[in-house]
Amino acid sequence: MSESMHEQRRSSSQDEATEVEPPESTRAEELRDELDELLDEIDEVLETNAEEFVRSYVQKGGE
């Protein structure tokens, strides 16, 4: 998550917000763009054989 989103979250939760909130549509667009970037990154870092990795992942019970 980028700094800008952190900033937005923080200001929207403050009672005495001094910054002017961006209009809803701009914020929604920013959120969408940011999620798109994150999804691109997930495509890059997800295990190449993700399905096979999941299928073969077996743990013994613990505790």
Q: Which of 39, 24, 36 is nearest to 8 (CA)?
A: 24
Position 63 contacts other proteins (CB under 8 A): yes
Position 59 contacts other proteins (CB under 8 A): yes
Which tokens in the block code for residue 46? 């997800």
Contact positions with other proteins (CB under 8 A) in 9-38:
9, 12-13, 35, 38
* Chain residues in the site for other proteins (CB under 8 A): 1, 5-6, 9, 12-13, 35, 38-39, 41-42, 45-47, 50-51, 53-55, 57-63
